[in-house]
Amino acid sequence: MWNNNDICSGCNNPLLKNEDIVVCPVCGTPQHRECWNKNGACVNEHLHSEGFVWTSAGIKEEEPEVPAEQKAEPELPPVFNFGIPNTQAKKSENYDPYGEEPHRQDPIPQFIYNTAIPPEALIDGIPASELAQVVQYKVPRYISRFFRIDQTNMKFGWNWGVCLIALIMSIFYPPISLFYPALWFFYRKMPKIGVLVLAGALFFSIATLDARDARIMNGMLEVYREVIDNPTEFNPSAMQDKINKVFDEAGPEENESRENFLNILAHLAVFGLSGFADYLYLGDIKKRIYKARKTAADGGMYRRLLYEKGGTSLGLVLLAAVAYFILQVIATKLTISILG
């Protein structure tokens, strides 16, 4: 309960009955909705793990009697607490640790609590709410997977987002199969792993080239030059005949077995990345959280750092795609010049 003119913990202004007020379902802190939205959570969220309960200035709680032996103990300095053990998390009778149903229906940030895993439950030593603040997008899916990894110690899973497009595109052009898994890592802000996977994609695309490919590419360039030099004499049927002649003169496949072997390796790499993607993602998030804990001076700064370090990035995806295709063109030309 709160009284008219109680002070908002977010802006230190009075709370009036005619204003839009939000009451935290965890600690009962009343605050302006604008303050709630600005912080992205309750302003006293960093105190929840300590059992904080807000009380009105007009209501005085009876202080429990402290045993004499506790009074003699010196007061410890305040600790920047980031969570409580799993054993303290309250679970309902229908609690499903692997489910993805909403944990709460309260007006609180859905990207944090929209999962059946309790927000205070520890996943590999980190509260689920903090992992969720880094994930931000598709939280129920990834928090449930992280919880399963922690509880079963099974690092291998399955992530369709990593392999589905890669497997579809590899039907038409096998060397590009590793390109799309790399983009997923960039999308989830894991550029180091993304660079390694892109390097693998570039290797497989270049390693499949042989002398026959060089003859075909050089022949195709000659055909295109003729069209560019004499655009008025362009004849589709004649151009198609020249293209067919280029392929006929190039001869049969020279290293088909090597190409098939490399494509099999590329597909195995795709399956491996799909199986361990969630485990790698969890490990990368943990590093971001530990770094934020060392940097943050208080709970508010900590939440902001988690939000900035988390989420997704389409900019990284576009940058990686452009860089890859530029490098592929350069590497292909160099390889063709050597083989030709």
Q: What percent of the chain has pLDDT over 70?
A: 76
pLDDT of residue 76: 43
Average pLDDT for 201-227: 77
pLDDT of residue 253: 66
pLDDT of residue 278: 93
pLDDT of residue 303: 85
Q: How far apart are CA 189 and CA 185, in angstroms?
A: 6
pLDDT digits (tens, 9 = 90+) for 276-292: 999 999 999 999 999 99
Please report, for the chain, the start and end positions of each structural domain, with discontinuous segments joined by +. 6-59, 160-210+255-339
Average pLDDT for 42-48: 83
Buried b (16+ CB within 10 A) or exposed e, 326-339: eebeeebeebbeee
Unique residue bearing structure tokens 């090597």: 258
Instruction: Please say if the pLDDT value at position 220 is more than 70.
Output: yes
The reported pTM is: 0.59
Instruction: Please say if the pLDDT value at position 338 is more than 90.
Output: no
Residue whose C-alpha is closest to residue 100's, from 83, 117, 124, 76: 117
Residue whose C-alpha is closest to residue 147's, from 119, 117, 104, 120: 117
Mean pLDDT of the chain: 76
What are the backbone angles phi and psi of residue 298, rounded to the nearest 5°?
A: -155, 180
pLDDT digits (tens, 9 = 90+) for 88-125: 444 444 444 434 333 333 333 444 445 567 888 888 88
Domain 6-59: state its class.
alpha beta
DSSP string over 172-211: H-GGGTTHHHHHHHHHTT-HHHHHHHHHHHHHHHHHT--H
Q: How far apart are CA 110 and CA 157, in angstroms?
A: 25
pLDDT digits (tens, 9 = 90+) for 157-210: 888 878 777 777 666 665 557 788 888 999 999 999 999 999 988 888 888 777
CB 315 within 8 A of CB 186: no
Residue 311 has what DSSP assignment?
Answer: S
pLDDT digits (tens, 9 = 90+) for 136-160: 888 888 988 999 999 888 888 888 8
pLDDT of residue 190: 94
pLDDT digits (tens, 9 = 90+) for 52-99: 888 876 544 445 555 655 555 444 444 334 443 444 444 444 444 434
Span of 10-14, 319-323, 327-331 with lowest mean pLDDT = 10-14
